[in-house]
Amino acid sequence: MTELPLRYRFDHFVLSPRRRLLTREGVEVPLIPRYFDLLVLLVERRHEAVHRNDIFTCVWSDVVVSDGALAQAVRVLRRALGDDSREPRFIRTISRHGYRFVYDDVVTEADEPAEAGPLPSVGPATGPATVPPTFPDAERADSPALLIGEPEPAGEAAFERLIRRLLADGTPDEERRDAAEQLLQYDIARVLARLDGEHGHVRARALLREARWSVPGRHDVPLLGEPGTLGAAGLLAWDRLRHAWRLAGGRWGGAIAGATVAGATAGSLGGLVLVMLPQSSSALPAAAVLSAIGAFAAAAGGAGIGAGLVAAEVIARSRRALALVVGGCLGGAIVAWLAQALTRWTLTSLFSLEVSRLGGPVEGLVIGGAVGLGYAWATPRPGGGMAAPRGRARIRAALMVALVTAAAALALALADRPLVGGTVNAIAQATRSRMTFAPLGRLLGEPDFGRGTAGLFGAFEGAAFGFGLTIGLARRGRGAR
């Protein structure tokens, strides 16, 4: 006989992991999925203090977040449960460690499927009925009544207190964020109408826009066409960059390192194949030269495109896929333009050479956009954030990006737009070097390094670059959560 999954009763609450439902006296308490997962984890492991690292591994396994995201999640859970951090009945903070679910009377019972009917409406699991704690400090306005539906008439005073707390210059950031999350439980049009024209309304709108990701239902908080659009968008971008810089910096470095290794490997393999061809006049050192060129070019590309992707993940949440494509395009175009200018200047100044066919901003834009598109496809995140797939998921994401980047590189090569290999071949021909790729073309039935050979070589370059950059970018890093 198969055992039924478990559900948990504590105080007036029933928690059903099977149905992904938390109810209080039979009424659903809405929670966004990750916060629900956090509550289940704490309840299931209620006999121990759960370390922060364990929470990040279990709840945020596929995305990189900061400690602030966990603190925010616990704050929302406490508000949903009617808990008080100063005298916790449910969730206690364990200093320098993590959190523990401390309510003693948790009843575990079999959880029937949804077809069996709604969850029971219960009072406390044992003992006399309890009431969510009251807060004598009226400025807290933390009552659970604000969490479900429109407030009672008496909530008008609480609504005004939350507005003042959100607008006040001296309010700490955490308290402002808390006020924004609670105001999103009201009719959003009413909240925005009340804020318009007030001192600090631009900052308040930006906070509401960001806080909506922590509230079930995700109320739309428009920016375009509203008062202070540019200011609110700028504050929103700055806050996200400020909070995510430590994590983003590590991911950027990972993207550069991954691309560099991939470029060096691809260059070495290409050089070895070239050296081993019977009609080739290249010597073994050519493999080392091509490896160094591949590493340098890929590092530059990884720096530009990686920066664009990291910035997109940090700043954009509601339009993540579009932001990744745009960020990749901009990063790739800028770094390719700089590389082209530096190469032309070096060839002209030192060798008096004019080489017309050098890869440049168009190629960088296309490759960067392809990496961004492939990365968005491989790591869909409706809620935004910095994706961090693990194990096979990470390899699969890298292969998906490699596929898209290879297709883009092939299209560029067939359009006579050279990438690294084509650029190196053009320079070798201009300098009459023995290290040309013509033997590769003859191996494939072309008289020289033609478009077919360039296409095959470019697809290999693009696939290696996309794979390596994604492996590095998706790495969580030692300091990441």
Q: pLDDT, tens digit, for every residue of 29-86? A: 988 888 999 999 999 999 999 998 899 888 888 887 777 788 888 988 998 899 988 8
Do both 102 and 160 map to the same domain?
A: no
From 82-96, 214-228, 246-260, the region with the lowest mean pLDDT: 214-228
What is the domain count for the chain? 3
Asked if residues 244 and 457 have their Cβ atoms less than 8 Å apart, the reply is: no
Do both 363 and 454 map to the same domain?
A: yes
Give the residue from 116, 132, 156 where a domain finishes: 116
Give the residue from 182, 202, 227 where a domain finishes: 227
Task: Specify the pLDDT at position 115.
Answer: 62
Q: Which range in 243-257, 260-274, 395-409, 419-433 is most confidently predicted, on average pLDDT?
A: 395-409
Mean pLDDT, residues 396-423 taken together: 93
Do both 55 and 192 map to the same domain?
A: no
Give the residue from 116, 131, 166 where a domain finishes: 116
- The sign of the dihedral angle between the CA atoms of 84, 57, 28, 112 is negative
Do both 349 and 260 map to the same domain?
A: yes
Assigned domain for 294 exists: yes
Do both 49 and 146 map to the same domain?
A: no
Assigned domain for 465 exists: yes
Assigned domain for 481 exists: no
Amino acid at 250: G
Assigned domain for 332 exists: yes
Higher per-residue confidence, 80 vs 233: 80
Instruction: With a cut of 50, say whether residue 354 has pLDDT above it.
Output: yes
Task: Specify the pLDDT at position 134.
Answer: 35
Domain with 43 in it:
6-116
Instruction: With a cut of 60, say whether residue 142 has pLDDT above it.
Output: no
pTM above 0.85, yes or no: no
Assigned domain for 132 exists: no
Q: In angstroms, rounded to a whole number, what is the distance separating the alpha carbons of residues 273 and 453?
A: 13
Do both 192 and 112 map to the same domain?
A: no
Q: In angstroms, rounded to a whole number, what is the distance separating the alpha carbons of residues 37 and 32?
A: 9
Higher per-residue confidence, 55 vs 444: 55
Amino acid at 116: A
Task: Specify the pLDDT at position 67.
Answer: 75
Do both 316 and 444 map to the same domain?
A: yes
Mean pLDDT, residues 338-349 taken together: 90
Task: Specify the pLDDT at position 133.
Answer: 37
Task: Specify the pLDDT at position 296.
Answer: 95
CATH number at residue 95: 1.10.10.10
Do both 215 and 285 map to the same domain?
A: no
Instruction: With a cut of 80, say whether residue 197 has pLDDT above it.
Output: no
Neighbours of 256 (CB within 10 A): 24
Assigned domain for 464 exists: yes
pLDDT band (50, 70, 90) for residue 129: very low
pLDDT band (50, 70, 90) for residue 130: very low
Do both 48 and 23 map to the same domain?
A: yes
From 53-57, 297-301, 426-430, 436-440, the region with the lowest mean pLDDT: 436-440
Asked if residues 327 and 265 have their Cβ atoms less than 8 Å apart, the reply is: no
Instruction: With a cut of 90, say whether residue 394 has pLDDT above it.
Output: yes
pLDDT band (50, 70, 90) for residue 124: low
Mean pLDDT, residues 390-396 taken together: 91
Assigned domain for 232 exists: no
Portion of the chain with pLDDT greater than 70, in percent: 83
Token readout for 416 is: 């006579």
Higher per-residue confidence, 359 vs 368: 368
Mean pLDDT, residues 133-152 taken together: 36
Instruction: Please give the mean pLDDT across all residues of the chain.
Output: 82
Task: Specify the pLDDT at position 146.
Answer: 37
Q: In angstroms, rounded to a whole number, what is the distance separating the alpha carbons of residues 210 and 221?
A: 9
Assigned domain for 22 exists: yes
Instruction: With a cut of 80, say whether residue 194 has pLDDT above it.
Output: yes
Amino acid at 465: F
From 47-61, 134-148, 217-231, 302-316, the region with the lowest mean pLDDT: 134-148
pLDDT band (50, 70, 90) for residue 230: confident
Do both 408 and 463 map to the same domain?
A: yes
Q: What is the pLDDT of residues 246-305, one digit of tens each?
A: 667 788 999 999 999 999 999 999 888 877 877 776 777 878 888 999 999 999 999 999
Do both 193 and 281 map to the same domain?
A: no
Give which of 472, 464, 384, 401 is closest to 62, Cα–Cα. Answer: 384
Do both 95 and 170 map to the same domain?
A: no
